[in-house]
Structure 1
Amino acid sequence: MIQSLYTYLKLLRAHQWIKNFFIFAPIFFSFNFYNIEAIVNAFYAFIGFSLIASSIYIINDWKDIHLDQQHPTKKNRPLAAGTISIRNAFIACLLLVISGFSIYLFVLEDYTASSLLAFYFLLNICYCFKLKQIAIIDVTIVAIGFVIRLFIGSIVTSIILSHWLIILTFLLALLLVLGKRRNDVLIYSETGQELRKSISGYNLEFLNTMIITIVTIIIFSYIMYTISPEIVVRNGEYMYITSLFVILGLFRYLQAIFVEKKGDSPTKLVLKDRFLQIDILCWIISFITISILKPL
């Protein structure tokens, strides 16, 4: 029973739900920690979005089952490994879709957020069947998905987003997915296995240039965010100090993908890498502390 539950959690890629915490970003960055209604709505939106995201993972795994069987790590996914039948996977997928949209339509009762969720679902269906085969378009769609999470969080909490926050979310997501593509290119160069059709549109030189460029823009954008008038008024003039932890975190990510070749899963990297965990914790603590002490 426990083994079966674990297998289905792998099918749903429950560890990937960490990405959906971007829905809570508007609450964190606006310091609406005492707005219970906003937090509850964000929680429901998080659950509903996670269910829909998992349904897309199932569709993607079914579509790529033969490619995954050739991948050094993806071959252990339930569909590729044959530990869950395609029939049972599609039943689970249908239940996830129904449950996810039901939360948005009947619990949150937010039709704007529901429409945005439907757009995310359809966009990713197109991604699974065609768009992920097109270089640059593939990584852009993944990054847009993170921005959609951010907008859904804004809608259900009624919190207006900073333009800088939207830009930073898109760039950070783009950086992480480019790191994954770089790992795929490395596998292709070492084994000759083309694990995704878009790989032909990338090479190490191109990806390295894109990654370094985006890291540079992220650092600049974050510093500009911390010294923007709205942030200085709301969070204090010393918010720029938190840039230290952003820079350290980005450098550690570059070290992981360039030196240690750990770019296959940014989510697993965050969940396992002690340096990144401590760095993120220090960033959160410093962000909150500087904001709280601002009036003093």
Structure 2
Amino acid sequence: MKYLILLRPKHWVKNLFLFVPYFFSGSFFNLKGLFFLFIGSLAFSFMASSIYIVNDWFDINFDKMHPVKCNRPLASGLISKKIAAIIICSLIVLSHTLGCILTIRFLIVLDIYFIVNLFYSIGLKNISVLDIFILATGFVLRLIAGGVIAAVALSEWIIVMVFLLALFLAIAKRRDEVLISLTLGKEIRKANKGYNLDFLNVLLALVASAIVISYLIYTLSPDTILRMGSHKLYYTFVFVLSGLFRYLQLTYVYHDTGSPVKVFYTDRFIQISVVLWILTFFTIIYCKDFLDYMIGP
């Protein structure tokens, strides 16, 4: 169990972003493409787990002071640094082995992800503002990797929106950490010295507004309508808005956004919003004739 906790398999859900370009391409039922995307997501999952362990390695002292992270295998001493180093190397080799089944371009994206996050773990995470930008970049790299595997060109809007969404989640996470620091009376992360609640509240409002505006522009864009073959994409906007509202409620009212992955797995409102968004988009892209028959072209 301690090794599973070290690998954080629950966080592998983030690698579903690799499937996003394929979903929007209208070719989601091509099983060969899905198989290669599955291989790619596994490669990214193993590489991400190696980074999680590296990050835990450099965060041991801070994690020991955290009310929840103190229970992590490295911080609690359940797993030694020597064993952790062996696991890191094994995961990197396994990730590259799977990546070799795909393309060189995918391997390049995979290695860029590893290098960026390695530097993040070593020290860049201690630089306020830059830290959240690097976290958001990781999601964009997943998106690019998915586009490379599926041979799908990414629109500038999908890249911008994924970056903004990841930035929003990272800011909410930092806000939760600042609240914990205030409660404990000590810093649990060096980068948090450059943050306070007022600053993070402004950033959350700014990024949330940018997400809403960007999404509306995307769904109403003539280029998007032409590519998707439908002008009904704006129907999905209500689920994006409800999901954002709920996350802001969790952030400001319940102070429970320290782990976006935990929110995704446990919050029914968020889950329903995501599922309805996917189903609506699926119907618009893959069931155009049925939708036109039901509500008109």
The answer for the alignment partner of 1:42 in structure 2 is 37
Deviation at 1:35, TM superposition (A): 2.2
The answer for the alignment partner of 1:287 in structure 2 is 281
The answer for the alignment partner of 1:268 in structure 2 is 262
The answer for the alignment partner of 1:218 in structure 2 is 211
Whole-angstrom distance in 1 between the partners of 2:265 and 2:223 = 32
2:172 maps to which of 175, 179, 185: 179
Deviation at 1:293, TM superposition (A): 4.0
1:142 maps to which of 129, 135, 140: 135
Whether contact under 8 Å (1:147, 1:166) holds in the other structure is: yes
Deviation at 1:84, TM superposition (A): 1.6
C-alpha deviations, 1:123-165, integer Å up to 9, x for none? 1111011100000100000101100000000001101111110
Letter in 1 for 2:245: F
Whether contact under 8 Å (1:55, 1:93) holds in the other structure is: yes
Whole-angstrom distance in 2 between the partners of 1:286 and 1:254 = 23
C-alpha deviations, 1:168-197, integer Å up to 9, x for none? 000000000101100111111121221111
The answer for the alignment partner of 1:98 in structure 2 is 93
Q: Single out whichever of 77-86 and 256-265 deviates more from structure 2.
A: 77-86
Unaligned runs of 5+ in 2: 293-297
Whole-angstrom distance in 1 between the partners of 2:112 and 2:22 = 23
The answer for the alignment partner of 2:72 in structure 1 is 77
Deviation at 1:254, TM superposition (A): 0.2
Whole-angstrom distance in 2 between the partners of 1:272 and 1:235 = 35
Whole-angstrom distance in 2 between the partners of 1:291 and 1:256 = 31
Query: Does residue 131 in structure 1 map to residue 124 in structure 2?
Result: yes
Letter in 2 for 1:9: L
Letter in 2 for 1:22: F
Whole-angstrom distance in 2 between the partners of 1:268 and 1:205 = 25
- The 3-state SS of whatever aligns with 2:186 is coil
Whether contact under 8 Å (2:105, 2:148) holds in the other structure is: yes
Alignment of 1:160-199 (within 5 A): 160-199=153-192
2:248 maps to which of 246, 249, 254: 254
Q: Single out whichever of 228-237 and 169-178 deviates more from structure 2.
A: 228-237
The answer for the alignment partner of 1:19 in structure 2 is 14
Whether contact under 8 Å (1:38, 1:158) holds in the other structure is: no
Deviation at 1:257, TM superposition (A): 0.9
Q: 1:116 to 1:291 in 2, by over 3 A?
A: closer
Q: 1:221 to 1:151 in 2, by over 3 A?
A: same
Q: Single out whichever of 146-155 and 182-191 deviates more from structure 2.
A: 182-191
| TM-score normalized with structure 2 length | 0.95
Aligned length: 289
Whole-angstrom distance in 2 between the partners of 1:291 and 1:28 = 9
C-alpha deviations, 1:59-81, integer Å up to 9, x for none? 11111111101101101111112
C-alpha deviations, 1:224-252, integer Å up to 9, x for none? 11112233232411110110000000000
Whole-angstrom distance in 2 between the partners of 1:142 and 1:254 = 19
Whether contact under 8 Å (2:37, 2:149) holds in the other structure is: yes
C-alpha deviations, 1:75-96, integer Å up to 9, x for none? 1111112222222111111100
CA RMSD in angstroms comes to 1.1
Deviation at 1:40, TM superposition (A): 1.4
Query: Does residue 206 in structure 1 map to residue 199 in structure 2?
Result: yes
Deviation at 1:111, TM superposition (A): 1.0
C-alpha deviations, 1:96-134, integer Å up to 9, x for none? 0000011112x11x1111111111111111101110000
Query: Does residue 227 in structure 1 map to residue 210 in structure 2?
Result: no
Whether contact under 8 Å (1:248, 1:279) holds in the other structure is: yes
The answer for the alignment partner of 2:50 in structure 1 is 55
Whole-angstrom distance in 1 between the partners of 2:264 and 2:186 = 27
The answer for the alignment partner of 2:295 in structure 1 is none
Unaligned runs of 5+ in 1: 1-5
Whether contact under 8 Å (2:26, 2:286) holds in the other structure is: no
Q: Percent identity?
A: 43
- The 3-state SS of whatever aligns with 1:83 is coil
- The 3-state SS of whatever aligns with 1:223 is helix
